[in-house]
Amino acid sequence: FSTTFVTFSPSGRYVATLAIKPDVPSQLYVWNWATGAVVLKSVTQSPDATPFRFTLDERHVLLFQRGGRCVRYDLEHGTDVEDSPAGMSADTIPMDVAESRMMVGYKIVDSRVAVAFWDQNEPARRGEFLLDSGISIGGPATTPDGRLFAIAQSNGTLLLCATTAGAALVPVTSQA
């Protein structure tokens, strides 16, 4: 197995990673950083390397999967619940969710990546924009209030986006 998407919980209490191996279901691991104790080890239903994140209260880890599915792992009880976030379409791959319930994901349209974002409280409030041909994206980061998100692009730029404007606002070129 190789590991991807290593992240700390908001307070730094936990650290998590996704272990992947071709043609084998992925495994999600969460450890208590201070004690080294395994808090969660779960085999996912997908062999894909999919994004995940902690909730701000650190009670859950959300694992986003293809087909518009999201698995919520309860760290205290070791249980999980699968659901489809409100406003999710089957062709959109979720990547992040803010505490405000603003979702960010992507889909492929005519061989190009289209970034999608929507408010689960108001699923009709949705925005999408196409990226340039040949551009792929990396994990977004969303502010807790869901008003802003950033997406890393394969061309070395970072897009800062406002969900109220419905498009990318500020491309920032990374410095090598």
Q: How many whole angstroms from its chain centre is CA 60?
A: 14
Highest mean pLDDT among 25-34, 68-77, 88-97, 144-153: 25-34
**Amino acid at position 146, single letter:** G
Nearest residue to 69 via CA among 53, 49, 44, 93: 93
The predicted-structure confidence for 91-105, as pLDDT tens digits, reads as follows: 676 666 666 677 787
Report pLDDT digits (tens) over 111-128: 888 888 877 777 676 778
Could you give the percent of the chain with pLDDT greater than 90? 6
Apex CA 108: angle with CA 172 and CA 100, to 5°? 60
68 SS3 class: helix
How much is the pLDDT for 176?
A: 40
Q: Give the CA count within 13 Å in the CB-facing half-sphere of 59.
A: 3
- pLDDT for position 88: 65
